[in-house]
Amino acid sequence: MSSLIKLFVLSISVFSIASCKGQPKVSDEKAETLERPNILLILCDDLGYADVGFNGSRDITTPNLDALANSGTIFNEAYVAHPFCGPSRASLLTGRYAHKIGSQFNLPTEGDESKGIDVNETFISKVLQQSGYYTGVMGKWHLGYQTEYHPNFRGFDDFYGFLGGGHSYFPEQFKAAYKRQKESGREFIWEYLRPLEHNGKEVDETEYVTDGLSREAIRFIGEAGAKEKPFFMYLSYNAPHTPMEAKAEDLKLFEHIQDKKRRTYAAMVYAVDRGVGQIVETLKATGQYDNTLIIFFSDNGGKVVTGANNYPLKEGKGSAYEGGFRVPMFFHWPHVVPGGKVFEHPVSALDMYPTLAGLANAKIPEGKQLDGKDIWSDFLKGKNPRKDETLFIMRHRKGFSDVAVRKNEWKALKVKQQKWKLFQIEKDLGEQNDVSSRHPEILKELVSEAKVWSESHIQPYWFHIEKEGEQWRTDNMPRFDKTFKLP
């Protein structure tokens, strides 16, 4: 921990203690509010299933994450709602499948920044904010650029980060590139090079971006400690997403990794772990640690070509195989979340919305549709919150769609226009043994459920690139008649 951060934490701690000494007795109404937990939701970007120590990594060290995971509860069947960035994050914050709200694809990257998640969809941040939480998001947004889609208008009091789908990591490099492009008169400058912002105003970031986001998270926690209200922070790291850029001192720690891509990737993950350690120290120093629920996971599976490891899962980011959307995850909350446990039942990122709202005693707007459920009670009892319930994944490709359907121990899968397959996923995590011929009725049931689910979808509101949209229309997509046809 740097001396600057130590000094900041110490000053916040002293301030908080002094403030408490001088405070009048808190009213019963205030006390009830303060009993609600702080919520720290930490999301990595493209983190592999086996790229943290608590989930089996042997070459990447993550001591701070491991300490939290091992003294909390690890989820070994945690799923996100889409196998890549934008749609996954949209589902997390809206509590809805991206396909139902027109956000099946990442936002456009060819200069059209007019799009964003439907403003009629109330984000969990807004629900918590309206219930009295101090709310903040640090890092990657990827849910809209214009004012009406901006984090400050979607329930976040404080935003520090970038609005696009990614960012370069070294300020001396991206600031120089931004300056060159601006001076050249370019109308559109790549979002990865633009200045970071704080509540709508450009800032001059000087640190490696992962460290900068950790620093801002520490600032937010310090500010939250001085308020008589709980906080919700969505710490949205862009690591280890491309570009693959790591600090020299972090790379040195992983000299034992021969593969250069893997070494850089490992160093980027380690930077996240370092930041989490500093954040935990801050929570302890400000007296907020014991009443903070920390949730950690990734937005989708690891991208294998950039160095990620999803073992024992098959494939990775973008795939309907388990490696695309099954992620490492834990809950940590001293004296509340069971310590040293593994939760061996399916949960979804869609469940975060109703679960967090329940913990916050927050009112979900009347008429708000949700695709997840409040899992908290079942979680504490060690019960399966999704027994006999179905989870879906769909990835649209050129002229066809890949689909996964998970229910109890079964998973139906259709990829690359091949025939539907069936796996007994709890016994076959690597999806090696197709048992559809032995259980045709189970496969038929799952495919039928997915077909009904698809009928709730709407046409995409945008496409990542315009050529994608042109192809979509040429192919008369989504062509569900073709997708859900069985032999």
Enumerate the active-site residues.
85, 142
Spatial separation of the C-alpha atoms in residues 418 and 395, rounded to whole Å: 14
Question: Which residue in 130, 133, 159, 137 sits closest to 231, CA to CA?
Answer: 133
Nearest 5°: the CA angle 130, 218, 12 is 95
Residue 64 CB coordination number (10 Å) = 20
**Token couple for 151:** 């984090």
Judge whether 49 and 327 are in contact, CB under 8 Å.
yes
Residues with Cβ within 8 Å of 3's Cβ and at least 6 positions away in sequence, in order, are: none
Query: CA 132 from chain center: how many Å?
Result: 23
Kind of pairing, strands 410-414 and 401-407?
antiparallel
Spatial separation of the C-alpha atoms in residues 479 and 303, rounded to whole Å: 28
Residues with Cβ within 8 Å of 306's Cβ and at least 6 positions away in sequence, in order, are: 46, 240, 242, 244, 261, 265
Spatial separation of the C-alpha atoms in residues 393 and 278, rounded to whole Å: 35
Spatial separation of the C-alpha atoms in residues 300 and 83, rounded to whole Å: 5
422 sits in which H/E element:
strand 421-424
Strands (E), 365-416: 390-396, 401-407, 410-414
What values do phi and psi take at 10, rounded to 5?
-60, -45
Q: What is the DSSP string of 244-275?
A: ----HHHHHTTTT--SHHHHHHHHHHHHHHHH
Spatial separation of the C-alpha atoms in residues 218 and 10, rounded to whole Å: 12
